[in-house]
Amino acid sequence: MADEQWPDAGGRRKELAAFLKSRRARLQPSDVGLRGGGRRRVTGLRREEVAAVADVGLTWYTALETGVEIGVSESTLDRIADALKLGTAERKYLLELARGMPAKVESEVSPRVREALDAIEAPAYVISGDWNILYWNAAFAVLWNVDSPGSAPFNAVESLFVDPSSREVYAGLWESVARSVVAQIRSDYAAHIGDPVFETTMSRLLTIPDFKRFYAANEVVSSTEETVRTIRHPELGSIELVSVNFLIPGTSLTATIELPQKDAMTRLRAKSTPP
């Protein structure tokens, strides 16, 4: 693909190259039906082994992995994904890095969507592609101890890493949660590379040492999957949350509802409902 068809082509090729190297490094020849044989100077598969399993030329694959501008078809990427044994989220990430145009980050939540969130008893919020929480309801404000609905948006990832209280909320699970969140925003970034709004967000996040360290792992996790997490609320105690995500029709925004277990929902309702 030519650079004029691939906005921020250098950034996309760099992300793609780093990802392919990291996925190759985690496999052994036996994982793909090959014999190891001989001394190995690399961790994981060699490039020629990936090329052989994917049925592509070694020169072509080397160019792809070293960030050289080359033409690439979806069917070829599918074969590479198979060779590297990529999971569903990783395969999607690989394909999105080869997209022609970045998706635009949206930041406007319609009045109807705001009304819908306000009518939900469980904590709920709307989040943008670059993880800015744009609007939330009263239950969410109580659960996460943030300003009232309608206040200025904030970035969920930045808050997780910068706000000291987040480590207390997740107790000993903070690092596990943080690594998962970084893997999720990496997945979302693939569709937005070149978008000025997302690039600004990523530049800011990459100044945070722990975020930068986790990001270097090249892990990818879908941000739309249902998640289950336990938090420790200073007043409501231990709460298990099931997060369910919904794409808002006609937008790139996601609405998330966090469902606490029944007894926690009762306590939360009592604190978030006006007298």
What pLDDT is recorded for position 7? Answer: 45
What pLDDT is recorded for position 189? Answer: 92
Statement to judge: residues 164 and 77 lie in one domain:
no
Statement to judge: residues 258 and 182 lie in one domain:
yes
Tokens of 145: 């101890």
Of 76, 51, 82, which Cα lies nearest the Cα of 1?
76
Residue 105 falls inside a structural domain: no
CB neighbours of residue 203 within 10 Å: 9
Residue 79 falls inside a structural domain: yes
Of 15, 74, 3, which Cα lies nearest the Cα of 192?
15
Residue 102 falls inside a structural domain: no
Is the pLDDT confidence value at 225 over 70?
yes
66 SS3 class: coil
**What phi, psi does 57 have (nearest 5°)?**
-70, 145
Statement to judge: residues 148 and 267 lie in one domain:
yes
Statement to judge: residues 21 and 123 lie in one domain:
no
Statement to judge: residues 61 and 182 lie in one domain:
no
What pLDDT is recorded for position 136? Answer: 98
Statement to judge: residues 150 and 223 lie in one domain:
yes
For the segment 67-87, the average pLDDT, to the nearest whole number, is: 86
Of 79, 102, 106, 109, which Cα lies nearest the Cα of 91?
79
Residue 68 falls inside a structural domain: yes
Under the banding of pLDDT at 50, 70 and 90, the label for residue 171 is confident
The rounded distance, in Å, linking the Cα atoms of 65 and 140 is 43
Whichever domain contains 203, its CATH number is 3.30.450.180
Statement to judge: residues 162 and 61 lie in one domain:
no
Least confident of 35-39, 254-258, 265-269: 35-39
Statement to judge: residues 189 and 227 lie in one domain:
yes
Statement to judge: residues 32 and 87 lie in one domain:
yes
Range of the structural domain that residue 87 is part of = 3-97
Residue 168 falls inside a structural domain: yes
The rounded distance, in Å, linking the Cα atoms of 234 and 211 is 26
Is the pLDDT confidence value at 150 over 90?
yes
Of 7, 6, 36, 56, which Cα lies nearest the Cα of 20?
56
Residue 130 falls inside a structural domain: yes
What pLDDT is recorded for position 4? Answer: 36
Burial class (CB within 10 angstroms; exposed 0-12, middle 13-18, buried 19+) of 53:
buried
| End position of a domain, from candidates 97, 125, 152 | 97
Statement to judge: residues 148 and 236 lie in one domain:
yes
Statement to judge: residues 73 and 125 lie in one domain:
no
Of 142, 156, 173, 137, which Cα lies nearest the Cα of 236?
142
What is the number of domains present in the chain?
Answer: 2
Is the pLDDT confidence value at 206 over 50?
yes
pLDDT digits (tens, 9 = 90+) for 47-65: 999 999 999 999 999 988 8
pTM, entire model: 0.79
Statement to judge: residues 128 and 241 lie in one domain:
yes
